[in-house]
Amino acid sequence: MPGPIEKLRNIGIVAHIDAGKTTTTERILYYAGATHRMGNVDDGNTETDFDPEEAKRGITIYSAAVTCRWKECTINLIDTPGHVDFTAEVQRSLRVLDGAVVVFSAVEGVEAQSETVWRQADEYKVPRLCFINKMDRIGANFENVLDQIRKRLGGNPLPLFLPIGSEHDFLGIVDLIGRKALYFDSETQGKNITEEEIPDDLKDQAEEYRQKLVETIAERDESAMETYFEEGDLPDETIHKLLREATLAGDIQPTFTGSALDFVGVQPILDGVNRYLPSPLDVPPVHGINPKPKKNQSAEITRGPSNDEPLAALIFKIVADKHADLCFVRVYSGVLKSGSRLLNPRTGKKEFCSQIWHIQADQREKIEIDLVEAGDICGVIGPKDIVTGDTLCPTTDPILLESIHFPETVISMAV
Ligand code: GDP
């Protein structure tokens, strides 16, 4: 079981092609898979059998939704297509996820496709973290990318980390909240992280950025502002709490940096996902319509992320596998049990859900489960007469979840 719903994160990693989405995803699965299996990678002693080739295979086969664990949270990583031609698919996945990590290349910065995806994420009110990747590459420029996110995307990136050096001299990152420098040992695939004092030549800049960070979020809260005025600082816990509120409101995007290729800066992103991105409880309830409302009954239905509500599940992706179609489902409310017969209100037919499962990051395998609770994502085998965007629900409580704005037919007509 994934654990309590408030510790569940349904997130996507979105990026312009080549910015490093695959590499960042691999690193996340590596760390999160290792935590799940070994219990803890924080002590730096964890032995893993990480095999990049295997990871890649796992990602391409089961990329639609992979479940991993990081510390106290369960993270469902939902694939978002990287290519602009798949705008309808991007939209569909943005609807299904609760938060996103947007990866930018520190060299190329904001590109046309990033603008499209950013606007779509705005439209669906998806809270975001930013990751400025490839700090080790020639031409990397952290400040430039921050500036572009502000000017071209209208975003409000708030750096929580600063790069130490750049290009060949990129060495690590400064943690502005923890006030320390972090160096990642790429020989051990980033397992060993050394904490040191912030280098002298970065101290002033780090302090300036930290002040900016604290001031920005203190402004959101009167008592925090008072503390900040009196003491010139805020306790870490208050900073995290206010950062979370500001991120969920869409007012800021906590911003991370590093080099995914060298394993630098990826663990802080995972901490950021746990701390600042929403759980299914933090997002508005889903809307749908009753396909056959009785007299005097409203056709509109709202369902919250509770096991006690009737089941409402959305099929967001269908992947052909060797033996059967795998459909990927988000359970917005209620509980989805294996062996159940559910209505597809679009066709009026019942579909049999013979198996449900999660893809576990550490095993890269389908793990069969008995039930999936509200808020979670899973794979289902069995339904036959289905297309992406279909709803599965009980016959006794039918609901048609909002249809997606851009069905494939519209796209093909537009081409
Ligand atoms: P995607 O298209 O966004 O999925 O990007 P990939 O993860 O496939 O990365 C594109 C290329 O950039 C690959 O050759 C990666 O090895 C490389 N790359 C990714 N991250 C980094 C990084 O932090 N530093 C450097 N130097 N190369 C990177």
What residue's CA is closest to ligand 1, atom 9?
A: 20
- What value, to the nearest 5°, has the Cα angle with vertex 119 and ends 32 and 216? 70
* Position 380, amino acid: V
- Write the CA distances from 329 to 150, 309, 375, integer angstroms: 35, 17, 10
**In this structure, is the dihedral angle defined by the CA atoms of residues 173, 129, 6 and 26, taken in order, positive or negative?**
negative
Output the pLDDT for position 55: 53
Residue among 314, 415, 371 nearest 93 (CA): 314
What's the pLDDT at 191?
Answer: 72
Residue with tokens 């992280």: 193
Q: Following DSSP, what letter does each residue of 104-118 receive, concatenated?
A: EETTTBS-HHHHHHH
Name the residue among 255, 278, 372, 342 with its Cα closest to residue 11.
278
Kindly tell me if the per-residue pLDDT of 45 is higher than 80: no
Q: Looking at residue 253, what is its pLDDT?
A: 98
Per-residue model confidence (pLDDT) at position 409: 37
pLDDT(162) > 80: yes
Question: Does pLDDT of 84 surpass 70?
Answer: no
Lowest mean pLDDT among 83-97, 172-186, 205-219, 263-277: 83-97
Say what the pLDDT of residue 413 is. Answer: 30
Distance CA 2, CA 406 (A): 32
Q: Range with the lowest mean pLDDT among 41-55, 111-125, 225-239?
A: 41-55
Question: Which pLDDT belongs to residue 34?
Answer: 52
Sign of CA pseudo-dihedral 55, 12, 16, 84: positive
Which burial class, exposed, middle or buried, applies to 250 when counting CB atoms under 10 A from its CB (0-12, 13-18, 19+)?
A: middle
Place of tokens 């299996």: 37
Whole-number Å distance, alpha carbon 170 to ligand 1 midpoint, is 16
Which parts of 203-270 are beta strand (E)? Answer: 253-257
CA of 199 to the centre of ligand 1 (A): 28
Residue written as token pair 């800066």: 265
Q: Predicted confidence band at 92 (pLDDT cuts at 50, 70, 90)?
A: confident
Sign of the C-alpha dihedral computed for residues 263, 267, 269 and 273 taken in this order: positive
Instruction: Report how far ligand 1's centroid is from the alpha carbon of 340 (Å).
Output: 43
Q: What are phi and psi of 305, to 5 degrees?
A: -80, 65
Q: ipTM strictly over 0.85?
A: yes
| Rounded distance between C-alpha atoms, residue 45 and residue 257, angstroms | 24
Q: What is the mean pLDDT of residues 343-348?
A: 94
Closest to 154 (Cα-Cα) out of 200, 119, 105, 195 = 119
Position 66 pLDDT exceeds 90 = no
Residue type present at position 270: L
For residue 414, pLDDT beyond 80: no
Query: What span, in angstroms and rounded, lies between the C-alpha atoms of 9 and 50?
Result: 23
Please state the rounded mean pLDDT for residues 52-62: 52
Does the CB atom of residue 136 touch ligand 1 within 6 A? yes
Q: Write down the pLDDT at residue 124.
A: 87
What local confidence, expressed as pLDDT, does residue 226 receive? Answer: 95
- CB of 401 closer than 6 angstroms to any ligand 1 atom: no
CA of residue 134 to ligand 1 center, whole Å: 7
Tell me the two tokens of residue 170: 């990129």
CA distances for 287 relative to 136, 248, 303, 313, 333, angstroms: 45, 20, 6, 12, 11
The pLDDT assigned to 207 comes to: 96
Query: How far, rounded to the nearest angstrom, does the alpha carbon of residue 352 sit from its chain's CA centroid?
Result: 30
> Is 63 a residue whose pLDDT tops 80?
no
- Confidence band, pLDDT 50/70/90 cuts, at residue 46: very low
Rounded to the nearest angstrom, the distance between the alpha carbon of 287 and the centre of ligand 1 is: 38
Joined together, the tokens standing for residue 386 give: 């289905």
- Alpha carbon distance 244, 403 (integer Å): 30
99-118 pLDDT, tens digit per residue, is 999 999 999 999 887 888 89
Is the pLDDT higher at 15 or at 254?
A: 254
If one residue of 13, 14, 18 were mutated to test the ligand 1 pocket, choosing by the most ligand atoms within 8 A of its CB, it would be 18
Q: Could you identify the atom of ligand 1 that is nearest to the CA of residue 16?
A: 3
Total residues found in the chain within this entry: 415
Residue 56, pLDDT score: 53
Q: How far apart are alpha carbons 144 and 157 in whole angstroms?
A: 12
* Residue 45 or 77, more confident: 77
Q: Which ligand 1 atom sits nearest the alpha carbon of residue 258?
A: 23
Ligand 1 near 260 CB (within 6 A): yes
Tell me the C-alpha distance between 137 and 15, whole Å.
17
Q: Which residues of 218-244 are buried (b: 16+ CB within 10 A; e: fewer)?
A: beebeebeebbeeeeebeeebbbbbbb
The two three-digit tokens of residue 39, written as one number: 């219990």
Query: Scanning the structure block, which residue is given the tokens 């699965």?
Result: 29
Whether ligand 1 lies within 6 angstroms of the CB of 163 is answered as no
* Cα–Cα dist 13/23, whole Å: 11
Ligand 1 pocket test, pick from 134, 261, 264 with the greatest ligand atom count within 8 Å of Cβ, gives 261
Q: What value does the mean pLDDT take over residues 334-359?
A: 94
Provide the pLDDT for residue 47: 32
Comparing C-alpha atoms, which of 77, 64, 138 is closest to residue 269? 77
